[in-house]
A and B are shown apart, each in its own frame.
Chain A
Amino acid sequence: MRHALLSVVVGLSTLAGGCKSIDMVELQPTIEEAPALASAVRVSDPAQSNQLVSGFYEIQAGAWRWTAPQFQVLLAAPRAAATRGAQLVFEFSLPDPSIASLKSVTVGATINRLQLPPETYTTSGLHEYRRDIPASALGAPEVSVAFSVDKFLTPPNDGRNLALVATAIALEPK
């Protein structure tokens, strides 16, 4: 018993002595944000995935992603956008099965609380949604763009709501 007690005392004293200069707690590095955002995002670029805020599924074939009916992206405002405005450009495609099933798809967007006019698409293939953005909506260096789509597919045994096949989103200078 005496030996055990002695061992505990010696052990603790050694630990205490050795730990005199220890920090309060160890530091666990965090993942800090990239220094700058891009004003154009290719959704297939993993390095830009931090700008895809919500509503994007996995990269497919290294080139595109399915979106959910609501999706959101973060873009840097182009130079001088705060005085001249900019153009929002969204490149996407509608596969044949989507149009065959849904007949038409309407895409709308909101940028910094400003609702942009929606557009309806009735054909399959590549499309572009392009809108002028007034300078008043581009005061901040980074802007959030929220898209909404009125119809979508829900494939059986998938669980996802598939709206559009997105390829790129950008704010282009005027």
Chain B
Amino acid sequence: MIRATRGAYWLAPIALCLALYWFGLKTWFEQDDFAWLNLRNHVVDFHSFLWAMFSPLAQGTVRPWSERGFFMLFSSLFHLHALPYHVFVFFNQFVNIALLGMVTLRLTKSEIAGFAAPVLWICNLVMVTPMAWVSAYNEIQCATFLLLSFYLFLRYTETGRKGFYWAQWVTFLLGFGANEINVVYPALVALYAILLARRYWLSTLPMFVASAGYVLLHGLSVSSEASFYYDMDFRARSLIRTLQYYWRLMLAFSTYADSRQWHRWTANLAVIVLTLTLLGFGAWQARRRRFLPLFCLGWFGIALAPLLPLHNHLTDYYLFIPTLGIAMLAGNAIGTAWRTPWVRPAAIGLALLYAVPSGLIVHRNMKVLFERMDRARLLVESVAYAKHIHPGKLILLDNVDDELFWSTIYGSPFHIFGWNDVFLTPECAPLIKPDPHLGRVDPYVLPASAAAQALDQGALVYAVENRKLRNITRTYTAVLRSKPAPPLASLVQLGTPYFDSQLGDGWYQVETGYRWSSGHAIVYLPGPTAPGQKLSVHGLATEQETKLGPLHFALTIDGHPQPVHEITAKNADFTFEYVLPADLIGRRKIEVAFTLDRVLRIPTDTRDLGLVFGEFGVQ
């Protein structure tokens, strides 16, 4: 190839990537991004830095390079300016495109295949989330480690040079810091070695030990608490159903047909044609003792296998790494077809049958994500402006809808700035569809009684309008005052000053996010609205208190004594629940009182300290 052609050969897939995912450079942040962006605020010394980098978070994951380190480095350099994050992500994806081309070229010895594989991979709609959402960058980085490790292994099998083998070990081990799916790498290379480089398969075995060790460590760090979204179902029927879902999603046509409301049979027909082509090509090649297609299918299956039991968490970007195998397979098929001129049109036609609908979905979905994150940006930047012109004021947000809540507010973006006093108005609660598996909406909403008190203390109310926040404090206040007195809040957050009217004797001033009680204290709550509702009490005993022996917590609900709880070091951070007596249903106000069998005295403090509390709530 002449130099210009060679340049175009490598740059064309990158240019296509830029064209398809251009919106990804302009997207902002959402959801988990805000937690990661806030992570560096928890780092105060080397110990907390190690915690932030390596302690298991979010379903027990430890991804120091792709999440913790990446976000902490970029947020310390660029704060909430999203472009540099996305530029880096795009560069990393360009590396993946080049690596996929190089690997396919080496595997197939076909320049057509080496070109087609990355082009087809880029067109896949499962790229959308990682290319637009910074929190899904881990998929892109993990793909780099896997492709690079595999490329080095290929070079090792081609040259026999041990340097490649050990370099592969380094990239393989580093891959664990990107995404836990890296554990499948030994299976991938072992399959390759068994099918195509039998002499080297023994050299892959030690890597299984590394993966097994990682699985063991990861298993120890995963919370044993049941989680709906991460529930695993290993029954064959469930696994097949999930596999079928991912296979259809990957072939894209059915998603496109659904979006156009075409007949189901058109989607089914296209899926069948594409499936038969890929599997048929694999079978035909296997009969001729060419096992590369089997390896590519194996890549897909192996990389997807650990994710198949997650039947409640079907996520498009889980296919990001498995689709590398199918892209290599399709590249191989096109490269093979290209050698027979009369088959070329069919190969091109089939490639277009997949790539065009997928590309159209990519364009549409990128725009959807851009617009959703742009709403998040406008909200956060507008609140920042409001905080700038009204320093120290509590802000209530009105007219926040379901999408804006779950994409933005739920991720607590305001904590990044240290603002713990941005809440939703009670009128927002009915606009938000609760998801009990994800979390509670209540802590984000200031109840009407607390809102009235906050407004008396100078809080501001902003309504979310099209692309702006409008200050509606005066209107909102006047309307609130014209209504009957609001009921008591069913959730009292003791770490804020807006529930003081529901506190009786025995409480000290608010401290940062919590409040000390004395040895006996009272909270007023509304009665339950239905049978079976519970009173939930969340609090904390300090180490100094538990050192002195068990502490006894005796609570009464409107005079009804409840079972006494013992608090020790084991349950120092406690949440106690009590079934509310049925005779209290519908009562406007009930008294919840508790007594401790001893208090703590600190030499520099004159107070009798009971416990630290966060919330009292009727649920």
Contact = CB atoms under 8 A, between A and B. Distances in A.
Interface of A: 4, 7-8, 11-12, 15-16, 19, 22-33, 37, 50-51, 53, 72, 74, 110-113, 140, 142-146
B479 interface: yes
Nearest to A75: B478
A170 to B, nearest CB: 16
A58 B482 CA distance: 25
B384 A25 contact: yes
Interface string B86-100: 011001001100100
A30 B484 contact: no
Contacts of B79: 22-25
Contacts of B77: 15-16, 19
B381 A19 contact: no
Interface in B435-486: 462, 465, 468-475, 477-479, 481-484
A110 B482 contact: yes
Contacts of A31: 465, 468-471
A11 B87 contact: yes
B470 A22 contact: no
Top 6 nearest A-B pairs by Cβ distance? A28-B381, A144-B482, A144-B478, A25-B80, A27-B385, A31-B470
Nearest to B88: A12
A15 B481 contact: no
B459 to A, nearest CB: 14
Nearest to B387: A27
A8 B465 contact: no
Contact of A19 (B81, B386, B479): B81
A15 B478 contact: no
A39 B473 CA distance: 18
Given A22-B81, A31-B468, A50-B475, A4 B88 contact: no
B483 A113 contact: yes
Given A19-B84, A53-B475, A112-B481, A30 B78 contact: no
B388 interface: yes
Interface in B214-252: none
Interface string B357-390: 0000000000000000000011011101110110
A30 B468 contact: yes
A143 B472 contact: no
Nearest to A143: B478
Nearest to A34: B474
B478 A28 contact: no
B482 to A, nearest CB: 4
Contact of A111 (B80, B479, B482): B482
B109 to A, nearest CB: 21
B46 interface: no
Interface in B93-111: 94-95, 98
B474 A30 contact: no
28 contacts: A4-B94, A12-B84, A15-B77, A15-B84, A19-B84, A23-B79, A24-B80, A25-B79, A25-B81, A25-B380, A25-B384, A26-B381, A28-B378, A28-B381, A28-B469, A30-B462, A31-B465, A31-B471, A33-B471, A33-B473, A50-B475, A53-B475, A53-B478, A72-B479, A74-B474, A112-B482, A113-B481, A113-B483
A15 B474 contact: no
Contacts of B389: 30, 32
A111 B482 CA distance: 7
Nearest to B76: A16
A30 B469 contact: yes
A144 B388 contact: no
A11 B482 CA distance: 58
B265 interface: no
A53 B91 CA distance: 50
B342 interface: no
Contacts of B479: 53, 72, 74, 144
Contacts of A23: 79
Contacts of A51: 475
Contacts of A4: 91, 94-95, 98
Contacts of B481: 112-113, 140, 144
A20 to B, nearest CB: 8
Given A16-B77, A31-B465, A113 B472 contact: no
A110 B481 CA distance: 12
A25 B37 CA distance: 12
A15 B483 contact: no
Contact of A74 (B94, B98, B478): B478
Nearest to A142: B478
B381 A27 contact: yes
Given A26-B81, A32-B471, 16 more contacts: A4-B91, A12-B84, A15-B84, A19-B78, A25-B80, A25-B81, A27-B384, A28-B381, A28-B384, A30-B470, A53-B475, A74-B474, A143-B478, A144-B478, A144-B479, A145-B482
A28 B482 contact: no
B373 to A, nearest CB: 14
Contacts of A19: 77-78, 81, 84
Contacts of B471: 30-33
Contacts of B384: 24-28
Contact of B78 (A22, A37, A53, A111): A22
Contacts of B88: 8, 12
Nearest to A30: B469
B472 to A, nearest CB: 7
Contacts of B475: 50-51, 53, 74, 144
A28 B84 contact: no
A10 to B, nearest CB: 12
